[in-house]
Structure 1
Amino acid sequence: MHQVIELKGVSKRYGSSGAPALGPLTLSVAKGEALAVTGPSGSGKSTLLNLVAGLDRPTEGAVTVAGRRIDRLSEYALARFRREYIGMAFQFFNLLDDLTVTDNIQLPAQLAGTGRREAAARAGELMEMLGIHKHARAYPGRLSGGERQRVAVARALVNRPALLLADEPTGALDTASAHGVRDLLVDLHRAGQTIVLVTHDLTLAQECASRTIHLVDGHVALDTCARAVR
């Protein structure tokens, strides 16, 4: 099976003393897999996500994403790679308040060189799929937390990334909105999207992921496959 993520002997240290923040770690994630990463604060979850996203570089080891050895890429090449192959959705949405929902979603496509008409068509397709089309001309500040997270996910998917990274996507949401985002992640996984989900919410991990790893002190303490996602 094709591997979207391959980490080989990866470790990350901050400073010259003390234990690594992560690793050494060897891990692979297959195409179409939904991996949840859990663990207490300080266990290495965010470090792992940053290494996979190319936002940080390992102290040791190799990080390969979508067939590219990203730890060897220049900063410019990394930025281009992220635009083309990685979509990211964060806990606090990171939407641009002075742009409409449509403009927020299509911005990464335009930055990647997609024509305005094609980017708008893709944004419209995603808004229909995610149930937010009626908000196309609204500004993020007028939306609920759940709606803003759906906009953030649409923006993350606009370039059809090989990999979707979701960092605590329900952490800032009320219960009803969190259920909506959970259902969205389940639907995306069913459709074949490869997902890495970092969360403190074990229920979210159980319901959305086909596999869960639990980190403790930068190491995988548990690696389990779930029953079929509902």
Structure 2
Amino acid sequence: MPRFAPTFSGMTEPEVLIEFDDVTKQYEGGVAALAGLSVRVRRGEALAVLGPSGSGKSTLLNMVAGLDRPTGGTVTVDGVRVDRLSESASAQYRRRRIGMVFQFFNLLDDLSVLDNVLLPAQLSGTGRAAARKRADELLDRLGVARHAKAFPGRLSGGERQRVAVARALMNRPPLLLADEPTGALDTASGQDVRRLLTELNRDGQTLLVVTHDLALAESCATRTISLVDGRLAQGVAA
């Protein structure tokens, strides 16, 4: 696979890309999804977050994406206090700074592969010519250019996840979030996606991966943490 250019521009940007400072999330009934969590992710890292169901992994991911707000503490991503953003500012933040890859791809079945990949650029107001050039480049690099005119339903699971990654990278986000990206794939396709994420990180892309897949964490993560009841597991450095 051709190498990807890093998504960061140089020494002027902060070393820490994500910072959780004493973050709590309390739901009705007293259930704490996060309980005083402090975590830092450096630019260029690939952090895998492990833990059983209900440990707070999804809440952490949603906080980083600006889809949920903490009850206490602060969440800062790429210099932005995400916990303070309005709904409209959160949407703008996601378009500019976050790429997201989901377990079940979340591609639009009535759009072609190419149009799915172009969608983030259209939402951010990128010109058609520049967006098309970027989309063609990504589809080629990710090995799915031959499917540009096809609809997602005609692709294998591994191919659909590659299209989803291309869409997530369309606006050159400094951070790529992956929520169980191999969870819906067979063994061979899962290995393919693990190799892809490893390659992306090697070329400078910061990754935050929430997963139950130990093989994914071992292969693509530069650091792994485990959550238990909304806290870092004992002995795990943040």
Give the TM-score category using the shorter length.
over 0.9
CA deviation profile, 1:45-75 (whole Å, cap 9, x unmatched): 0000000110000000110001000111110
Task: Tell me if the contact between 1:39 and 1:215 (Cα under 8 Å) persists in the aligned partners.
Answer: yes
Distance, in Å, in 2 between the alignment partners of 1:194 and 1:5 is 10
Q: Residue in 2 aligned with 1:89? A: 101
- Paired letter, 1:195: L
1:28, 1:198 → 2: CA distance? 15
Matched, 1:3 2:8: no
Pairwise mapping of residues 161-172 of structure 1 onto structure 2 (< 5 A)? 161-172=173-184
**1:186 aligned to 2:198?**
yes
Distance 2:67 2:44 in 1: 23
Distance 1:6 1:14 in 2: 22
Letter in 2 for 1:13: Q
Do the aligned partners of 1:85 and 1:161 also contact (CA within 8 Å) in 2?
yes
2:196 counterpart letter in structure 1: L
- Tell me whether 1:71 sits opposite 2:95 in the alignment: no
Question: Which letter does structure 2 place at the counterpart of 1:34?
Answer: A
- 3-state DSSP class of the match of 1:149? helix
Question: Aligned-pair distance for 1:224?
Answer: 6.1
Residue 192 of structure 1 and its aligned partner are, at CA, apart by 0.6
Normalization by structure 2: what TM-score? 0.92
* Distance (Å, rounded) in 1 between the aligned partners of 2:236 and 2:68: 24
Query: Which 5+ residue runs of structure 2 have no aligned equivalent?
Result: 1-13
Q: C-alpha distance in 2, partners of 1:132/1:6?
A: 35
Counterpart CA distance in 2 for 1:183 and 1:23 is 34
1:61-210 → structure 2 map (5 Å cutoff) = 61-210=73-222
Cα distance in structure 2, aligned partners of 1:111 and 1:100: 17
Q: For residues 159-214 of structure 1, what are the alpha-carbon distances to aligned partners after superposition, in whole Å with 9 as ceiling and x for unaligned?
A: 00010000000000000100100000000010010000000011110111000000
**TM score, norm. by length of structure 1:** 0.95
**Contact 1:102–1:123 (Cα < 8 Å) also in 2:** yes
Q: Give how far 1:223 is off.
A: 2.9
User: Conserved in 2, the CA contact under 8 Å of 1:211 and 1:223?
Assistant: no
Code of the residue aligned with 1:202 in structure 2: it is L
Unaligned runs of 5+ in 1: 226-230
Summarize deviations over 1:72-98 as a string: whole Å, max 9, x none: 111001100100000000000000001
Q: Does 1:14 align with 2:30?
A: no
Q: Structure 1 runs of 4+ off > 4 angstroms?
A: none
- What is the root-mean-square deviation in Å for CA atoms of aligned residues? 1.1
* TM-aligned CA deviation for residue 19 of structure 1: 4.1
